[in-house]
Chains A and B, each alone.
Chain A
Amino acid sequence: MSLPQSLRTSITPPELEFIASQQLIEIIPLIAMEKTAFISGAFGPLQPPRRAKIPLWIAINLKLKKKCHIVAPEWLSVEFLQSRLDEELSEPGYSRLPFRYAEVSKVLLDVASDDIQNTDKIRSLLKDLREARQAKSREGLEELNRSELSLSNLSSMEINEIRPFFVHAMGILTHLHRDASTED
């Protein structure tokens, strides 16, 4: 078939990572490169040690070849994540995190852990955040009705995680309502 079964209902985590890799990130290059015209735009020139902004996928590629250092985004730090975790635990809504924080932080921690400080602490904070937010999503299921559920500040990976269940549940509620109204 034209689309494999596994891709029909939802987008997959590797695909989300693929999309997140189009975001720009700052690097400190170790090689020089002229300004280059890519399909997504012109990037460069790279002149060590001047910082440059390039798409994440290029940064990962250069990093794996040891041709650059990645500058960790400001939100990927112990202070920032700790403050968001405190907010997450004290406030009812989801705290404001970058929309693709899960994908970007995973890629960066996998590939460029030597460019990030306190990786162990960051890993555990990310895990705590994830769990706190997951718990909220589960509670949010109570508020599900047949027409609408607002989920502002939920991140892309989290949406993907709750998608199958929430979409199915809403479908059932719609059906129940339809059946009830036809019986009237």
Chain B
Amino acid sequence: MSSSSTSAMDWEAQYAAGVFEANTAALLRSGKSRKSRIGSLALDSDDEDQDITMASASASASARARPASTAPILDTRQDDESPISQLTRHWINERHAPDILPAQEDLLASLLDHIRRQSDAVQLLRGEPSASEEEHIRIMLVQMEVERVKFIVRSYVRTRLFKIEKFARFIMTDTTIQTRITTAERAHASRHAHLTDRHFHTSVLQSLPETQSHLDDTPIFMPPMITKPDDSRAVFVHALRDCPPIRFHEDLTLEMKRGHISLMPFSFIEQLLVRGDVELL
């Protein structure tokens, strides 16, 4: 068992190291068309739904606002983790976390830019009439990957959008959560909160007595009417590196070693998650 198991476990080492192989940025940029400017990120296909345009708009705004080199949001592990696996990790984290996680504007901006460059290259190559069958397969694979990446981007943005709409009123009252979302997302939350407020008011609240006609009442024995993220919800955590001990209560602490998988309430690992020490599964 020992000899076969060691080689078969190569991939576990790979997984622990960030799953996918690192890229050389030079190769990625060797596409035929390099007309890209970060400022114009609009995706060209016409089936993009609104959430994508929202993301790209905010992403391009941030890309213009500050140079890419000073990006404190991006974690330090980008050397050994490709942008795609980073985004996949953030996507899965976002899907499982009960709260909204910090936005990954720079990562998203660079990936959207890359998608656009790849699409341009495909368009260019498609125009060549003399393409062989091999060349054809190659173009198709590149095109297919673009669609796969778009899927991840879409699902990621949609997940955030869902949470933002769900917690819209809470976002407007809480300043810490506002630091974790983009300007575009904040504007959306504000519009959404305003619309639902008005709707509730015209349909029900205005006909109730004055003491009961507010959405932010805190009646006793009743849950509050503003939906808040439930930090106590349990999540499955995977330690990407050795973590400092977590203290649950007086007589229970846990020190997670790299590779450890555990189920625990979200509030205990939120900091570790933001620092990139753990990922959600």
- Residues on A lying within 8 angstroms of B by beta carbon are 1-3, 7-8, 10-11, 15, 18-19, 22-24, 31-34, 36-42, 57-58, 61-62, 65, 67, 73-75, 77, 79-80, 83, 96, 98-99, 146-154, 156, 159, 163, 166-167, 170-171, 174
- Among the listed A10, A37, A147, which residue makes an inter-chain contact with B249, where contact means beta carbons less than 8 Å apart? A147
Contacts of B262 in A (CB 8 A): 148-152
Q: Is B5 an interface residue (CB 8 A)?
A: yes
A40 touches B145 (CB 8 A): yes
Range for the number of chain B residues in contact with chain A: 35 or more
* B58 at interface, CB cutoff 8 A: no
Interface centre among A38, A73, A153, by most chain B C-beta atoms within 10 angstroms, is A38
Task: Select the residue from B4, B134, B138, B234 with max chain A CB neighbours within 10 A.
Answer: B234
Q: Which residue of A lies closest to B121 (CB)?
A: A37
Please tell me if the beta carbons of B141 and A58 are within 8 angstroms of each other in the complex. yes
Cβ contacts under 8 Å, A8 to chain B: 162
- List chain B residues, Cβ under 8 A from A146: 265
A98 touches B8 (CB 8 A): yes
Q: Is the CB of B165 within 8 A of A2?
A: yes
Nearest-neighbour CB distance to chain A for B262, whole angstroms, equals: 5
| B252 x A148 contact (CB < 8 A) | yes
Check B115–A80 contact: CB distance below 8 A.
no
**Residues on B with beta carbons closer than 8 Å to the beta carbon of A34:** 138
How far is B233's CA from A58's CA once the two chains are assembled, in angstroms?
Answer: 37
A24 touches B31 (CB 8 A): no
Interface of B is mostly: helix
Interface residues of B (CB under 8 A from A): 1, 4-5, 7-9, 11-12, 14-15, 19-24, 27-31, 51, 82-85, 88, 92, 95-96, 111, 114-115, 118, 133-134, 137-138, 141-142, 144-146, 148-149, 151, 155, 158-159, 161-162, 165, 232-236, 248-249, 252, 254, 259-265, 268, 281
Chain B's closest residue to A178 (CB) is B232
From A2, A39, A83, A170, give the contact of B263 (CB < 8 A). Answer: A170
- The complex places the Cα of A67 from the Cα of B137 at a distance, in Å, of 10
Indicate if the CB atoms of B162 and A1 lie closer than 8 Å: yes
Q: Which residues of A contact B96 (CB under 8 A)?
A: 10-11
Chain A residues within 8 Å of B31, by CB: 37
Instruction: Find A39's partner among B7, B118, B248 (CB 8 Å cutoff).
Output: B118
Known contacts being A23-B11, A39-B114, A148-B254, is A166 close to B142, with CB within 8 Å? no
A129 CB to nearest B CB, Å = 14
Are B162's CB and A3's CB within 8 A?
A: yes
A96 CB contact (under 8 Å) in B9, B23, B148, B149: B9
A-B contact pairs, 9 of them (CB 8 A): A10-B95, A15-B155, A22-B85, A37-B29, A41-B27, A41-B82, A74-B8, A80-B1, A170-B265
